[in-house]
Amino acid sequence: MFEKVLIANRGEVALRIHRACREMGIKTVAVHSEADANAMHVRLADEAVCIGPARATDSYLNKSAIISAATITGVDAIHPGYGFLSEDADFAEMVEEHGIAFIGPKPEQIRMMGDKLKARAFAKECGLPVIEGSEVLNSVDEAKAEAEKIGYPVIIKAKAGGGGKGMKIAYNEQDIGTAYMMARAEAKASFATDDVYMEKYLRHPRHIEIQILADSYGNVVHLGERDCSIQRQNQKIIEETPSPALNELQRKEICNLARDAAAKIGYVSAGTMEFLFEDGKFYFLEMNTRLQVEHPITEAVSGVDIVREQLRIADGAKLGYSQDDIRLQGCAIECRINAEDPETFVPNAGKVTEWHAPGGLGVRVDSEIYSGYKIPPFYDSMIAKLIVSGRTRNGVLMRLHRALEEFVIDGVKTTIPLHQKIMMQPEYIDGIYDIHWLEDNIRNFK
């Protein structure tokens, strides 16, 4: 097994990776910006290296600085976490060129899945259902012509997109010009390319994703599905497993399709196949070639440590189990806690004056926050994840109510009150919601 791993990330995911490494007897190296010098993962790591100023472009996205830190500290491998460089194929290649293992899939797999049109083509080849769409759009006129063929409403998406960026909806011909230009501008700013394409826009879909694990010997398993339909501006807020929208036949169908598709391309490491689900039909959305923020709920129902498996697979180990060995039991829900105003969603960085994480059976909190910690204003506003699990969904909802009441974060505004309101809504309690439900109903929450 690896002796030393550099964690090329920050926040709760860096701490999550550190913990997995320590449990496996692996030493860790934390890299950090000047703004993160007092972060918990930096305090706990065996070694720490400052890689630049606060801005992510000067630190966590600085490939040469991270490679230099890895070389100086003599690590065997680099774990990229999620976000930042986790789906950067060029970075993965740089890591391997320096004789260091990249804890993730092959660079060519990252590159293929990062191109949404190539991913769509792959999905078709593998027999996955794909929503009607276009190739790259080169003008407003092309966009209008494609929309007429597909039928309104349509959504224009960044070819290199992800995280809900570079996506604009057009409900009619009058919307097309603005949607096209805005999507291109946002794509250019976020992904350094303004290539966009078009898909049919589904009005009331669920967001269903399948967790995959695959080793270098052709062994591939799925760990069930996650329902990530509670979203705001295409950003996930609450995830749960299993999905209350699927029956057993639908669940088996989509999970097996995703597993078989991953096997067909020789995928290696942890990955997630994402789908939209509407009127009993699935449509391939994308594949994320990295660890997902919401992976803990899958760990809760499967008993599989996904980060541990990433490390083992990257070191050349076999999975050691087959699909028949996987037993998914109970239910789990994750709430993403952001340092934001719960009504306006304006980020609210500052000093945490008091911190008390909930506990008890079936309650897990992933966070590196502590009393006195100063949340920097330079990065994503998510500061904690509350994961609650149990035998039944109703039992988990009751436990989640209690855990949210017990959660104390003072000194900054957080989205805990929003989660408490969501838990009280009859539609959520009954599992009747889609990806637009939150934005359509949030103003009526009491």
pLDDT tens, 297-327?
A: 999 999 999 999 999 999 999 999 999 999 9
Q: Do 411 and 354 meet the contact criterion of CB atoms below 8 Å apart?
A: yes
Q: Checking phi first, is residue 234 left (phi over 0); if not, alpha (psi -120 to 50) or beta?
A: left
On average, the pLDDT of the chain sits at: 96
Give tens-digit pLDDT for 18-48: 999 999 999 999 999 999 999 999 999 999 9
What the chain holds in terms of domains, given with CATH numbers, is 4-103 (3.40.50.20), 132-200 (3.30.1490.20), 206-444 (3.30.470.20)
Catalytic residue from among 290, 336, 364, 399: 290
What is the Cα–Cα distance from 86 to 102, expressed in whole angstroms? Answer: 10
Q: Measured at the alpha carbon of residue 162, what is the angle toward residues 159 and 164, in degrees to the nearest 5?
A: 110
**Residue 290 appears among annotated catalytic residues:** yes
Indicate whether this model's pTM tops 0.75.
yes
Give the tokens for residue 73. Answer: 């500290």
Give tens-digit pLDDT for 138-172: 999 999 999 999 999 999 999 887 667 889 999 99
What is the Cα–Cα distance from 165 to 155, expressed in whole angstroms? Answer: 12
